């Protein structure tokens, strides 16, 4: 199977290179048959990537330790689903998975658009095949997933070598979230190529109407959705697996996934202005390019080893190739944007500062400001090392100091933006629409202050979140009541049909409500508390409203790991709420320790327990205790985000591919 996989990789390199040439020849109307050849090259690359992936999965499944990737990321006693999903646990495998998704995206885009946009498709196909060629080059010459382990004998002969067992999968990756988090995140990263390919094609051909936007809106939403879900699942993994009590630490690789999501969020808002008013054309081209560049940059950060991260791979020369690829993308895109500036002039001007156009513009500026702040904080250690010879670490306080107020302002725009009319909004209309939401926000702030909550940003987030939530509820209420006056529907049915009639608008409102829930969860972090207890069987500790009773301490021996487990009875306000079982594990193959946290979650707070170790006399377990308010709101907000985006993705009419703003 390895020989088949290696041959398939070589074929991908050849097909993609040949396809680029054919697509360029096929851009002329009299040579369209060459374009068909290039498009078949995309299909062939997808089929070949499936063969490569299947070959790798087979080697992982049978534990063929003759191959470096299998020996380095699995072991015999690793559960089969972790063996198979270890295909994206290492650099070589993750790049193959990247290439597989890229070729599948290309196949889907070519198959659905080859007749709809004949002028754009030669260049769209070229972008896909060029990117496939780049990854195939990495597979064949730099990071081959089928490299064999070799040993050198005393006589100088080199023969293949297979260890008795592999090194095992990183214990931190042996969690359900890591089975689905990486592929979803990769689907988001790779999906950013679709709007970029169409935008670049539109620039080259000067077909700068809204056609390219209509062709890519849903593709952009899909990529944005996958990125968002991947980020949420990554936060969930960090929360339950890393054992530090949090879910977002502004890690460089976390930041790398957030930046393209912010850029695509800005694009999804500003593109509505271009569709309606013919404005922000240059801005949208820049945003689409930025989204794709940042997705490649995130892959570069993860694989170059230039940043320290629990998510990153080891130091590698592969980063140089990504850096060159980034320079090419940026240079080509900048060139065509600059020479097409006369064709990208706005068709209208901003009529009023108090308008929906201006709210979208402010929204974009704030999103890009946040993106730049995250980018600067992420790359600053690299810059400082290059300039001064040593790294200056930028930690969470820097990111929080900038992005918390930025996020709160974005939350405010989320609430007031829908109240603005296109072109111009009267102050009287704005006052009337904001009266109830603002009153509710002030009431919430006053109640929280009376109850003793003093953190300024948390109070602002919760009160402004109330304003946004009330605004969204009123939008649904007014629309449903208007529908009821014209139909015999009851209120719930009117809300449903209202949403289904304009899925893009009301799906967006649901996403905005999800953002409110996320910010509610984020605000809870201002009131986190922690403590530590040293317990042996029969002892108890008290923390806030909770009593923690240690029933017993067990030792567990499985084929994959050794573990110590604490059985803890939990009482809240004197009432028994159940048992919790935090563990500390040592994985046999890798000899790496991990913690398995225990979490009791409610809408109000999470009790989060970590088996941190043993006391010096080995008699007592050290239990780290965290009390984290409102964390469940983050996960529920993530679920609502998915629902709202899926609704926005649905066509307004069955069988049509377009949705009206």
CA dihedral 425→428→431→433, nearest 10 degrees, is: -70
Residues 6+ apart with CB under 8 A from 160: 66, 148, 149, 150, 151
Token match 């010879």: residue? 389
Dig out the tokens for 75 from the structure.
Answer: 């072991």
Dig out the tokens for 445 from the structure.
Answer: 């702030």
Dist CA 319 CA 315 (whole Å): 9
Rounded to an integer, the average pLDDT of 208-226 is: 89
Give all strands (DSSP E) within 474-545, no chain letters. Answer: 529-535, 540-543
pLDDT score of 592: 86
Dist CA 78 CA 55 (whole Å): 19
Res. 531: pLDDT tops 90: yes
Asked whether 527 and 458 are in contact (CB, 8 A), the reply is yes
Which stretch of 36-50, 136-150, 292-306, 503-517 has the lowest confidence by average pLDDT? Answer: 292-306
> In this prediction, what percent of the chain has a pLDDT beyond 70?
96
Dist CA 249 CA 517 (whole Å): 19
Average pLDDT over the chain reads 89
Dist CA 222 CA 195 (whole Å): 11
Dig out the tokens for 116 from the structure.
Answer: 């709809």
The pLDDT-based confidence of 391 (bands split at 50, 70, 90) is confident
| Helix, strand, coil percentages in the chain from 3-state DSSP, rounded to 5 | 65, 10, 25
Cβ-in-10-Å burial (0-12, 13-18, 19+) of 502 comes to: middle
Closest by Cα among 522, 524, 531 to 610: 531
The pLDDT-based confidence of 658 (bands split at 50, 70, 90) is very low
Dist CA 99 CA 107 (whole Å): 12
Rounded to an integer, the average pLDDT of 126-154 is: 91
Res. 631: pLDDT tops 80: yes
Rg (CA), the chain: 27
Dist CA 296 CA 291 (whole Å): 9
pLDDT score of 339: 95
Task: Please give the C-alpha separations between residue 126 and each of 48, 130, 193, 333, 429, in angstroms, as whole numbers.
Answer: 18, 6, 12, 14, 50
Closest by Cα among 45, 137, 42, 53 to 94: 53
Dist CA 656 CA 659 (whole Å): 8
Bridge partners (DSSP) listed for residue 571: 547, 576
Residue 546, H or E segment: strand 546-557
Dist CA 490 CA 486 (whole Å): 11
Between 97 and 302, the more confident residue is 97
Residues 6+ apart with CB under 8 A from 386: none
Res. 471: pLDDT tops 80: yes
The pLDDT-based confidence of 434 (bands split at 50, 70, 90) is confident
pLDDT digits (tens, 9 = 90+) for 268-291: 988 888 888 888 899 999 999 999
Between 145 and 656, the more confident residue is 145
Which stretch of 116-130, 385-399, 447-461, 472-486 has the lowest confidence by average pLDDT? Answer: 385-399
Dist CA 213 CA 503 (whole Å): 18
Rounded to an integer, the average pLDDT of 599-619 is: 91
Dig out the tokens for 578 from the structure.
Answer: 């159940």
Phi, psi of 554 (to 5 degrees): -115, 155
pLDDT score of 306: 67
pLDDT digits (tens, 9 = 90+) for 289-330: 999 999 999 888 877 666 655 555 545 678 889 989 999 999
How open is the CA angle 69-302-62, to the nearest 5 degrees? 20
Task: Please give the C-alpha separations between residue 538 and each of 17, 28, 276, 531, 534, in angstroms, as whole numbers.
Answer: 70, 82, 69, 19, 12
Dig out the tokens for 292 from the structure.
Answer: 């794709």
Asked whether 509 and 475 are in contact (CB, 8 A), the reply is yes
Between 461 and 660, the more confident residue is 461
Phi, psi of 575 (to 5 degrees): -100, 135
pLDDT score of 310: 52
Cα 486 to its chain centre, rounded Å, is: 42
> In this prediction, what percent of the chain has a pLDDT beyond 90?
61
Token match 């028994």: residue? 576
Residues 6+ apart with CB under 8 A from 365: none
Rounded to an integer, the average pLDDT of 167-188 is: 86
Task: Give every strand in the sheet of 598-601, ordered side by side.
Answer: 529-535, 621-629, 605-614, 598-601
The helix/strand count (H/E) of the chain reads as: 19, 12
Dist CA 497 CA 479 (whole Å): 10
Dist CA 224 CA 642 (whole Å): 10
Which stretch of 27-31, 396-400, 461-465, 558-562 has the lowest confidence by average pLDDT? Answer: 27-31
Dist CA 626 CA 599 (whole Å): 10
Phi, psi of 157 (to 5 degrees): -75, 145
Asked whether the CA dihedral 84, 89, 90, 95 is positive or negative, the reply is positive
Dist CA 223 CA 185 (whole Å): 9
pLDDT score of 280: 85
pLDDT score of 661: 34
CB half-sphere exposure, 48, CA atoms < 13 A: 24
Phi, psi of 613 (to 5 degrees): 150, -165
Closest by Cα among 147, 266, 123 to 196: 123
Per-residue burial over 201-210, b = 16 or more CB atoms within 10 Å of its CB, e = otherwise: bbbbeeebee
Asked whether 648 and 507 are in contact (CB, 8 A), the reply is yes
Q: Is 14 left (phi over 0), alpha (psi -120 to 50) or beta?
A: alpha
Ordered alpha helix ranges (H), 417-455: 427-450
Res. 571: pLDDT tops 70: yes
Bridge partners (DSSP) listed for residue 413: none
């Amino acid at each position: 199977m390895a020989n088949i996989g290696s041959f398939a990789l070589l074929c991908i390199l050849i097909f993609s290179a040949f396809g680029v040439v054919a697509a360029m020849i096929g851009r002329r109307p009299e040579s369209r048959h060459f374009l068909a050849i290039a498009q078949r090259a995309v299909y062939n690359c997808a089929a070949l990537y499936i063969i490569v992936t299947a070959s790798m999965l087979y080697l992982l499944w049978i534990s063929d330790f003759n191959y470096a990737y299998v020996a380095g990321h699995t072991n015999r006693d690793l559960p089969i689903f972790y063996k198979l999903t270890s295909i994206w646990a290492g650099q070589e495998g993750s790049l193959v998975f990247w290439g597989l998704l890229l070729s599948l995206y290309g196949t889907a885009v070519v198959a659905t658009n080859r007749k709809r946009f004949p002028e754009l498709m030669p260049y769209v196909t070229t972008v896909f095949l060029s990117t496939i060629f780049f990854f195939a080059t990495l597979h064949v010459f730099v990071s081959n997933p089928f490299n064999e382990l070799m040993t050198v004998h005393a006589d100088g002969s080199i023969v293949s070598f297979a260890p008795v067992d592999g090194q095992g999968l990183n214990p931190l990756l042996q969690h359900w979230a890591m089975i689905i988090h990486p592929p979803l995140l990769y689907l988001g990263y790779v999906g950013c190529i679709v709007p970029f390919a169409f935008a670049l094609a539109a620039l080259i051909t000067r077909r700068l109407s809204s056609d390219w936007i209509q062709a890519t809106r849903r593709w952009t939403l899909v990529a944005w959705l996958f990125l968002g879900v991947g980020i949420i699942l990554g936060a969930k993994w960090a929360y339950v697996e890393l054992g530090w009590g949090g879910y977002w630490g502004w890690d460089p690789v976390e930041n790398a996934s957030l930046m393209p999501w912010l850029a695509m969020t800005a694009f999804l808002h500003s593109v509505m202005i271009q569709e309606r008013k013919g404005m922000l054309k240059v801005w949208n081209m820049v945003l689409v390019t930025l989204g794709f560049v940042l997705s490649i940059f995130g892959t570069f950060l993860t694989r170059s080893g230039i940043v320290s991260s629990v998510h990153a791979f080891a130091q590698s020369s592969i980063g140089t190739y990504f850096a060159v690829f980034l320079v090419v993308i940026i240079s080509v895109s900048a060139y065509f944007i600059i020479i097409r500036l006369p064709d990208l002039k706005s068709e209208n001007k901003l009529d009023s500062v108090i308008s929906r156009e201006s709210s979208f513009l402010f929204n974009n500026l704030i999103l890009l400001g946040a993106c730049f702040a995250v980018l600067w904080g992420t790359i600053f250690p690299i810059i400082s090392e290059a300039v001064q010879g040593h790294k200056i670490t930028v930690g969470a306080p820097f990111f929080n100091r900038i992005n918390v107020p930025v996020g709160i302002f974005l939350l405010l725009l989320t609430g007031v933006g829908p109240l603005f009319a296109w072109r111009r909004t009267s102050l009287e209309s704005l006052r009337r629409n904001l009266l109830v939401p603002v009153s509710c926000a002030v009431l919430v702030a006053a109640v929280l202050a009376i109850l003793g909550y003093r953190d300024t940003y948390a109070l602002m987030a919760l009160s402004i979140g109330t304003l946004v939530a009330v605004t969204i509820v009123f939008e649904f209420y007014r629309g449903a009541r208007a529908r009821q006056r014209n139909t015999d529907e009851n209120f719930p049915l009117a809300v449903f049909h209202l949403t289904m009639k304009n899925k893009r608008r009301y799906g967006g409102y649901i996403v905005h409500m999800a953002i409110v829930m996320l910010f509610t969860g984020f605000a809870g972090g201002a009131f986190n508390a922690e403590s530590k207890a040293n317990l042996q069987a029969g002892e108890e500790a008290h923390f806030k409203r909770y009593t923690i009773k240690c029933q017993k301490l067990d030792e567990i021996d499985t084929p994959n790991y050794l573990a110590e487990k604490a059985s803890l009875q939990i009482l809240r306000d004197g009432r028994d709420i159940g048992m919790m079982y935090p563990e500390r594990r040592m994985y046999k193959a890798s000899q790496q320790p991990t913690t398995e946290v225990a979490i009791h979650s409610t809408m109000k707070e999470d009790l989060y327990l970590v088996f941190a170790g043993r006391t010096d006399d080995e008699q007592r377990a050290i239990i780290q205790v965290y009390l984290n308010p409102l964390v469940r709101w983050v996960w529920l907000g993530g679920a609502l985000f998915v629902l709202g985006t899926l609704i926005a993705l649905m066509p307004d009419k069955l069988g049509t591919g377009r949705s009206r703003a």
